[in-house]
Chains A and B, each alone.
Chain A
Amino acid sequence: MSRIYLTKDDKIEKYENHLVKLTLAPDKGEAAGEIEGLEPRRLFPVSNPDSYITLLDREGRERAVIRSYADLDAASAALVKQSLEDYYLVPKILRIISKAEKYGTLRWTVETDRGIVSFDIRNRNHDIHVMRSGFVRVRDANDNRYVIEDCNKLDRHSYALLIADT
């Protein structure tokens, strides 16, 4: 069984909520036809979110993989993007408003693109990842994810609060 990579001939349509319907073109051989209720999922949600999107059926089996949006027609690509937007909720932190520390647990109050929120960070070594490029991944005590797209572009106050814990 080799993996099916989608091409422009294949169609992706909306099914329900974030699930999609896939129509595989005849050139896919035996697999050709319609599959309903597929869930697009990122194979590399952190390191490469826009490539290698797998389509899983209800049993969690992989039915096809999208190499990149460029392999799809515009409508299909937009639909997949939308579905992933719904599935992966990763607020972008715009500003760190305040920071408090109690028994080694950090409590951040931040302004994100989705509003203001407070959360706990249990382990600053593991849960705050600063990439070389300035990209920061944050994970809270409940396993929710947040990102800072470029910590160098934060205001001075936020930057100082962030850098003290890295």
Chain B
Amino acid sequence: METTTKMLLKNKELPERAAALAESLAENGDAALFAIVGDMGLDGKYSKTALLFTAKKAVLYDEDLSEVREYLYEDMKEVRAKRMYGNATLSAKMKNGKREIFFRYTYGVAPLCDAAALFISHLNEGRSFREEYAIVSVAYERALSVCPKCGRPLLHPGAECIMCRSKKKVVKQLSKYVLPHTKTLIFCIFLSLFTTFMALIPPAITGFIVDAVFSEGTSTVPILGKIAAAFAGEPKKVLTAMILLLLSTYILQYGVGIIRAYLMRTVGNKTVAALRNDIYRKAQYLPMKFYDKTSTGSVINRISGDSATLQNFMLRITQEAVVHLFQLVGIVVIMISLNPSLTLLSLLPIPFVVFATRVFSKKMRPLYRRIWRRWTKVSSVMADTIPCIKVVKSFTGEERSTAVFEEKNRDWLNMELHLGKIVTAFPQIISFCVTCGSLIIWGVGGGKVIDGVGGYSAGLIVAFISYASMFYNPVTFFANLSDSFQSALASTEKILDILEAEPEPELPNSVTPDHFNGRIEFNHVSFSFDRIKKVLDDVTFTVEPGEVVGIVGTTGSGKSTLVNLLMRFYDGYSGEILVDGHNIKNFSLSPYRSQIGYVQQEPQMFSDTIFNNIAYSVPGATAEEVMAAADTANAHGFICRQPDGYDTVLGERGVGVSGGEKQRLSIARAVLMRPSILIFDEATAAVDSETEHLIQDAIDKLIEGKTTLMIAHRLSTLRRANRILVVDNGHIIENGTPEELMALKGKYYKLVQIQSMAAESERMRKEERF
């Protein structure tokens, strides 16, 4: 008995009393098979609940109820899981003939309750207990494969949640782009250190010139002291020597600077190219789900803009940080060795600078993100309206779309202006404080020189002022570092959003199909885009090899979703889809898709030659193969008559290719692939009847012996279909040969009636005219 309660399927730990209940059920010989631990009472208030299912009954436990309620399956008819808004219910017609709600829950457990509802109804229909239990356990398996941290569903049970990966891995991901250039970068740092060192020399020399050349002093720097001694009494010669020394320092400093700048630029460009490649590649493999949520404008922006920002940060800024740190340390060391007390004085403003920087950066971070979002909105408006310019014009929306654009652009501008105030003021204020530091040196140090205090000379003050101003260079750099760091961080987030997004799922050890016979099975497939409304609800049907199946139904009934699921554009459905008896999720994605010829309602062409557009499905296809495909698609004729033949570039200067011609090109594209399964998604919906005839003829040639799914609005398109599926509201309501469905006098019959009536009246009107 102990074991049976352990076998119990559950989505969460059972509440204590519910667990005891399960124990007692097991002891009574009717052990609970699965339990749904819910979160809401029947009154709609949150509560700990559990619904236990045995082979005979469902038992409801609710911590707010004193008693345990039992529902025998045999008393329940028409068990339904109904999704409402933010919550859902399980209900059934009970013995008294009234529909009673017996479980209320939030969406978290909705898939399990759907499975449970099916479980009860199927058992009542007398289906095999074992099979039904297996279906329920699949639902549990799916429900349990979510990330324990964030609750996002996982790709497959046990997979690592991408959102919750440690941030160290993020750094690792980015460092991948820098690592190939490690040697060059280290060399660059070396060069930078050298130039920094060179930059530290001149102030010492100028100080020396002031002390040893213009007056009779000497230098604290040993080498310079020796030079002064060697040329004692000949100040002009010393001056010349010093100028030559300065000149050679400058030559070295700036000469090496050129090499370094060149190397950095090369590395930077290489990095950004690699990063961009990866983002673009990744974007190609992202599932349709991602593009439903994200506007194409923002994806493009990430590829072009953000990668550059990030590259700038990863290379230039980090390098300069190292250099400036070195400069900082170098200067402090020199200053202390020259005069410790003056050094302390000139460092006085530092705490203020550091403090201000921290406050500043806290303020900046959200601002940069907001700017980025504003800018994305601006580019989204462009990406949306420019391609749809025809719609804009035909509904005289020019002013409206301009207004929308101006509004978004103004938002962006305001944000930038707001940010501009802070961004420009901050460094200036810092610099001001820093410059005030030099006043202190003049005041205190100068006073001591006048007083003739030992160790203070005019040269020392001059050198000190130079060092102090150089010192604040790195300080302001670090103050501004937060600025570039923030924008880089904002860009990083956007880029990782793509780089880390789950690509289209490819399970390990997936099968590579080379040919399908074309048997398609949908087993209890349910799908919902938003978890609220089910687009497909428990769809089950089988298509035999070679069948031509017409799918009809009103718009929004779920026809296209059927196809989208079969094409594996979306994977988050429950139930299974089999092709030739294999679950399609087990197939390797691209070989699988290349077995399916998919012709869309709106044929999409690239701005490339006709030849390349057709050969897109089979790269490397020969001219004759492409011509043969064009023949089948009834496209060769019009291609011949183009001045540039197959070399005609589409979309250039409005090259005259009509919608119907494009459709035939897209059919040729599908033909060339020699698919085993064909799908036409309203392929003739948007063309006139003569073109429809040509396309129909092309389709007829093509479908010979191949399993074909045809979604159609016009029933005339379906004259070749030997079976019709009528989809309504996510359900398959009719399934049979056209004759059978006509005899049934159901929905299909009605559709045929309506359309033939329309055709009839059309014909009569025409007859009247002639």
Q: Does A83 contact B (CB under 8 A)?
A: no
Which residues in A have their C-beta under 8 angstroms from that of B623? Answer: 43-44, 48, 51-52
Q: Does A120 contact B (CB under 8 A)?
A: no
What is the minimal beta-carbon distance from B338 to any residue of chain A, in angstroms?
A: 56
Q: Does A126 contact B (CB under 8 A)?
A: yes
Q: Does B640 contact A (CB under 8 A)?
A: yes
Q: Does A133 contact B (CB under 8 A)?
A: no
Q: Is the CB of B640 within 8 A of A47?
A: no
Which residues in B have their C-beta under 8 angstroms from that of A44? Answer: 611, 623, 645-647
Of the candidates A47, A48, A52, A60, the one having the most CB atoms from chain B within 10 angstroms of its own CB is A47
Given that A3-B627, A48-B623, A126-B652 are contacting pairs, would A41 and B640 also be in contact in the complex, using a CB cutoff of 8 Å? yes
Residues 629-676 (chain B) with a chain A CB within 8 angstroms: 631, 636-637, 639-641, 643-647, 652-653
Q: Is the CB of A43 within 8 A of B646?
A: yes
Q: Is the CB of B647 within 8 A of A45?
A: yes
What is the minimal beta-carbon distance from A123 to any residue of chain B, in angstroms?
A: 9
Q: Is the CB of B640 within 8 A of A54?
A: yes
CA distance A56 to B638 in the complex (A): 11
What is the minimal beta-carbon distance from A134 to any residue of chain B, in angstroms?
A: 19
Given that A46-B647, A51-B623 are contacting pairs, would A60 and B611 also be in contact in the complex, using a CB cutoff of 8 Å? no
Which residues in B have their C-beta under 8 angstroms from that of A61? Answer: 637
Which residues in A have their C-beta under 8 angstroms from that of B401? Answer: none
Which residues in A have their C-beta under 8 angstroms from that of B653? Answer: 126, 143
CA distance A40 to B631 in the complex (A): 19
Question: What residue in chain A is nearest B628 (Cβ atoms)?
Answer: A3
CA distance A65 to B637 in the complex (A): 12
Which residues in B have their C-beta under 8 angstroms from that of A65? Answer: 627
Q: Does B609 contact A (CB under 8 A)?
A: yes
What is the minimal beta-carbon distance from A115 to any residue of chain B, in angstroms?
A: 23
Which residues in A have their C-beta under 8 angstroms from that of B611? Answer: 44, 47
Q: Does A42 contact B (CB under 8 A)?
A: yes
Counting chain B residues whose Cβ lies within 8 A of the other chain, the interface size class is: 10 to 19
With beta carbons under 8 angstroms apart, the residue of A1, A45, A60 that contacts B644 is A45
Q: Is the CB of B645 within 8 A of A43?
A: yes
What is the minimal beta-carbon distance from B188 to any residue of chain A, in angstroms?
A: 32
Q: Does A13 contact B (CB under 8 A)?
A: no
CA distance A52 to B624 in the complex (A): 9
What is the minimal beta-carbon distance from A82 to any residue of chain B, in angstroms?
A: 19
Question: What residue in chain B is nearest A143 (Cβ atoms)?
Answer: B653
Which residues in A have their C-beta under 8 angstroms from that of B646? Answer: 43-44, 47
Q: Is the CB of B647 within 8 A of A60?
A: no
CA distance A41 to B652 in the complex (A): 21
Which residues in B have their C-beta under 8 angstroms from that of A1? Answer: 631
Q: Is the CB of B637 within 8 A of A41?
A: no
What is the minimal beta-carbon distance from B56 to any residue of chain A, in angstroms?
A: 68
Question: What residue in chain B is nearest A122 (Cβ atoms)?
Answer: B653
Binary B-proximity of A61-78 (CB < 8 A = 1, otherwise 0): 110010000000000000
Given that A3-B627, A47-B611, A52-B623 are contacting pairs, would A60 and B641 also be in contact in the complex, using a CB cutoff of 8 Å? yes
Residues 31-57 (chain A) with a chain B CB within 8 angstroms: 41-48, 51-52, 54, 56
Q: Is the CB of B636 within 8 A of A41?
A: no
Which residues in B have their C-beta under 8 angstroms from that of A54? Answer: 640, 645
With beta carbons under 8 angstroms apart, the residue of A48, A62, A143 that contacts B640 is A62
Q: Is the CB of B643 within 8 A of A43?
A: no
Q: Is the CB of B641 within 8 A of A56?
A: yes
CA distance A48 to B646 in the complex (A): 10
Of the candidates B609, B611, B637, B640, the one having the most CB atoms from chain A within 10 angstroms of its own CB is B640
CA distance A60 to B638 in the complex (A): 9
Question: What residue in chain A is nearest B623 (Cβ atoms)?
Answer: A52
CA distance A56 to B628 in the complex (A): 17
Residues 446-474 (chain B) with a chain A CB within 8 angstroms: none
Q: Is the CB of B652 within 8 A of A52?
A: no
CA distance A126 to B650 in the complex (A): 12
CA distance A52 to B630 in the complex (A): 14
Question: What residue in chain A is nearest B607 (Cβ atoms)?
Answer: A126
Question: What residue in chain A is nearest B649 (Cβ atoms)?
Answer: A126
Q: Is the CB of B631 within 8 A of A3?
A: yes
Binary A-proximity of B298-338 (CB < 8 A = 1, otherwise 0): 00000000000000000000000000000000000000000
CA distance A62 to B645 in the complex (A): 12
Q: Is the CB of B640 within 8 A of A43?
A: yes
What is the minimal beta-carbon distance from A6 to any residue of chain B, in angstroms?
A: 14
CA distance A51 to B644 in the complex (A): 14
What is the minimal beta-carbon distance from A11 to any residue of chain B, in angstroms?
A: 22
Which residues in B have their C-beta under 8 angstroms from that of A42? Answer: 645
Residues 117-166 (chain A) with a chain B CB within 8 angstroms: 126, 143
Q: Is the CB of A41 within 8 A of B627?
A: no
With beta carbons under 8 angstroms apart, the residue of B609, B640, B652 that contacts A56 is B640
Given that A3-B627, A43-B627, A126-B652 are contacting pairs, would A60 and B637 also be in contact in the complex, using a CB cutoff of 8 Å? yes
Which residues in A have their C-beta under 8 angstroms from that of B609? Answer: 46-47
CA distance A73 to B631 in the complex (A): 27
CA distance A55 to B586 in the complex (A): 49
Q: Is the CB of A62 within 8 A of B647?
A: no
Q: Is the CB of B652 within 8 A of A60?
A: no
Q: Is the CB of A41 within 8 A of B645?
A: yes
CA distance A45 to B610 in the complex (A): 13
Which residues in A have their C-beta under 8 angstroms from that of B641? Answer: 56, 60
Question: What residue in chain B is nearest A129 (Cβ atoms)?
Answer: B649
Which residues in A have their C-beta under 8 angstroms from that of B643? Answer: 45
What is the minimal beta-carbon distance from B575 to any residue of chain A, in angstroms?
A: 45
Question: What residue in chain B is nearest A47 (Cβ atoms)?
Answer: B647
Which residues in B have their C-beta under 8 angstroms from that of A48? Answer: 623
Residues 5-43 (chain A) with a chain B CB within 8 angstroms: 41-43
What is the minimal beta-carbon distance from B611 to any residue of chain A, in angstroms?
A: 7
Of the candidates B611, B631, B639, B645, the one having the most CB atoms from chain A within 10 angstroms of its own CB is B645
CA distance A64 to B639 in the complex (A): 15
What is the minimal beta-carbon distance from B698 to any residue of chain A, in angstroms?
A: 13
Question: What residue in chain B is nearest A55 (Cβ atoms)?
Answer: B640
CA distance A8 to B611 in the complex (A): 28
Q: Is the CB of A52 within 8 A of B647?
A: no
Question: What residue in chain B is nearest A53 (Cβ atoms)?
Answer: B645
What is the minimal beta-carbon distance from A59 to any residue of chain B, in angstroms?
A: 10
What is the minimal beta-carbon distance from B629 to any residue of chain A, in angstroms?
A: 12
CA distance A45 to B609 in the complex (A): 12
CA distance A61 to B646 in the complex (A): 16
Which residues in A have their C-beta under 8 angstroms from that of B636? Answer: 62
Which residues in A have their C-beta under 8 angstroms from that of B637? Answer: 60-62
Closest 9 CB pairs of A and B: A46-B647, A43-B645, A60-B641, A54-B640, A62-B640, A44-B646, A47-B647, A43-B646, A44-B647
Complex A-B: 27 CB contacts under 8 Å: A41-B645, A43-B623, A43-B627, A43-B639, A43-B640, A43-B645, A43-B646, A44-B623, A44-B645, A44-B646, A44-B647, A45-B643, A45-B647, A46-B644, A46-B647, A47-B609, A47-B647, A48-B623, A51-B623, A52-B623, A52-B627, A60-B637, A60-B640, A60-B641, A62-B636, A62-B640, A65-B627
9 new A-B contacts, CB < 8 A, other than A3-B627, A54-B645, are: A1-B631, A41-B640, A43-B627, A44-B646, A45-B644, A48-B623, A51-B623, A52-B627, A126-B652
